Amino acid sequence: MKKSTDLQAIFFLGIGGIGMSALARYFHHNGYTVYGYDRTPSPLTRELEEEGMMIDYSDSVEWLKGIELEQQHTLVVRTPAVPEDSAIYTYLREQGFDIRKRAEVLGLVTREKKALCVAGTHGKTTTSTMLAFLMANGQKANGESDGVNAFLGGISMNYDTNVLIDPQSEYVVVEADEYDRSFHQLTPYISVVTAVDPDHLDIYGTPEAYRDSFAHYTSLITGALVMKKGLALQPRLQPGVKCYTYSTTEKADFYADNIRVAEGQITFDFHTPEETITDIRLGVPVWVNIENAVAAMSVAWLVKGNGECFREKMASFRGVWRRFNIHVNTPEVAYIDDYAHHPQEIATAIDSIRKLYPTRKLIGVFQPHLYTRTRDFADGFAQVLSTLDEAILLPIYPARELPIPGVDSQMLVRLMADGEGRKADMVEKKDLVAELKRRAAESQEPVVILTVGAGDIDRLVPAIAEGLKNE
């Protein structure tokens, strides 16, 4: 949003969230005074404070009164992660502040640019970060340099941030989140749809309603849709909007073939409707990144009309924080952390590890995220966790939810036993580092340790990595 003389301050309810912090950085860069509330400090909120934003962690109305916000000059941006009975939220609402959802504000921002959006159950963050990296500091077809704006759902390892800002660029890359139908607020110019495997059934109710929400989303696109070939999705495109498919397993409008895996590297050829770019090498050599790369390059090619920079770009792409990050890699132990929190995402992470380390024992640690998701996908979680050689479960991370009777991590342990799968062990967070060190030390064979989940398990990653490096 362009700087307004009437609007002077932005207050973010839930500023520590990855999407909210990106918007906060965008507004701060554009000259607004930025305040925020979050439940707990984190490395990300500390970075925001160091950048000049003022944040409260006490849900204190007195603190809010102390900063003397002017109702007529302040916009409040909220996320559903902050409960409606929060003291600060209640006060702001009662005082008549203009309160908007994050998705609504992001929609306003994207309508000022040509929005390149990435939607789908899986792969959004990596694909959108790849796309932003391909667009930033690249070359247009006429040889001029260009940049990009981007709102990302993770921290880019190339830029160490979740937002890119280039006021001169006409493009903005956006991760289009389907939770709470947020992506219906966007106006995509070009959009990828990576997957429509049902999720967020606490919001949608049924798989059919979930997929229908994606169908409605496609009706908002103004330029082109790029969808994975074979998706159970019937697009509702406006007249004149083009539809392309992409694939890594068969021919499509955009596809990969001649895939080679050798000495820890993945290389493939990328086919467009008009040209083939050979020998694309992945900087993050994970099997699922072939598909993510094809999706990202497809959109970048439609914008640029030239794929010659892709070879260099993809080789130097360093990935996204908590998207298959390899923290330890020795002959005895490897440690990988991933954000996976849906059964299919966990299955993809496990499959990638089996391909990278086919002879090693695989120990997986899962922190379930949300009571509703654990309830709705309990059988799927039990099934996929049973494919690990050893499974460890942490207690459920509730986020915005209250407990549901009978729904807990022990329920998954019982389901795994009933399904004759490998038994899982329950471990408290405070004991996890010591438990993993013990298992690595006592193993008679090389091991890979995988931690997955969308809660606060990431807070343990540095300690786990440090402990395993000493084994």
Give pLDDT tens digits for 1-18: 555 558 899 999 999 988
**How does pLDDT run across 278-289, given as a tens digit for each residue?**
999 999 888 889
Which residues 6+ apart lie within 8 Å of 82 measured at CB? Answer: 13, 14, 37, 39, 89, 400
Reported as a pLDDT band with limits 50, 70 and 90, residue 252 is very high
Average pLDDT over residues 201-214: 91
CA distance 389 to 344: 18
Report the largest interatomic distance among the alpha carbons of the chain, rounded to a whole angstrom. Answer: 67
CATH 3.40.50.720 location in the chain: 9-100
Cα dist from 252 to 44, 221, 276, 302, 365, whole Å = 40, 21, 13, 15, 37
**Kind plus residue range of the DSSP H or E element containing 47:** helix 43-50
Does residue 35 register a pLDDT over 70?
A: yes
Distance of CA 128 to the CA centre of its chain: 9
Average pLDDT over residues 417-431: 81
Looking at residue 258, its pLDDT comes to 97
Query: Any idea which residue has 């099934």 for tokens?
Result: 383
Looking at residue 461, its pLDDT comes to 93
Looking at residue 422, its pLDDT comes to 65
Looking at residue 1, its pLDDT comes to 53
pTM for the whole structure:
0.76
Mean pLDDT of the chain: 90
CA distance 391 to 366: 8
CB 8 within 8 A of CB 33: yes
Looking at residue 203, its pLDDT comes to 82
Q: Determine the topology of domain 113-316 in CATH.
A: UDP-N-acetylmuramoyl-L-alanine:D-glutamate ligase (3.40.1190)
Torsion-angle region of residue 205: left (phi > 0), alpha (psi -120 to 50) or beta?
left
CB 381 within 8 A of CB 454: no
Does residue 423 register a pLDDT over 90?
A: no
CB 35 within 8 A of CB 10: yes
Looking at residue 139, its pLDDT comes to 42
Beta strand 254-262 with 242-247 is parallel
Does residue 407 register a pLDDT over 80?
A: yes
Which class would CATH give 325-469? alpha beta
Does residue 111 register a pLDDT over 60?
A: yes
Looking at residue 352, its pLDDT comes to 84
CB 337 within 8 A of CB 461: yes
**Kind plus residue range of the DSSP H or E element containing 242:** strand 242-247
Looking at residue 2, its pLDDT comes to 52
Average pLDDT over residues 142-162: 77
CATH among 3.20.20.30, 3.40.50.720, 3.30.200.20, 3.40.50.450 for 9-100: 3.40.50.720
Instruction: Characterize 296-306 residue by residue with b for buried, 16 or more Cβ atoms within 10 angstroms of its Cβ, and e for exposed.
Output: bbbbbbbbbeb
CATH 3.40.1190.10 location in the chain: 113-316
Higher pLDDT, 401 or 448: 448
Looking at residue 144, its pLDDT comes to 37
Reported as a pLDDT band with limits 50, 70 and 90, residue 140 is very low
Tokens for 452, please give them.
């997955």
CATH 3.90.190.20 location in the chain: 325-469
Kindly give the residue spans of alpha helices, DSSP state H, lying in 386-460.
409-418, 429-442
DSSP state string for 144-176: -EE--EEEEEEEETTTTEEEE--TT-SEEEEEE
Tokens for 266, please give them.
């993945």
**How does pLDDT run across 259-310, given as a tens digit for each residue?**
998 767 899 999 999 999 999 999 988 888 999 999 999 999 999 887 888 9
Cα dist from 402 to 219, 337, 371, 407, 408, whole Å = 35, 27, 8, 11, 12
Looking at residue 382, its pLDDT comes to 94
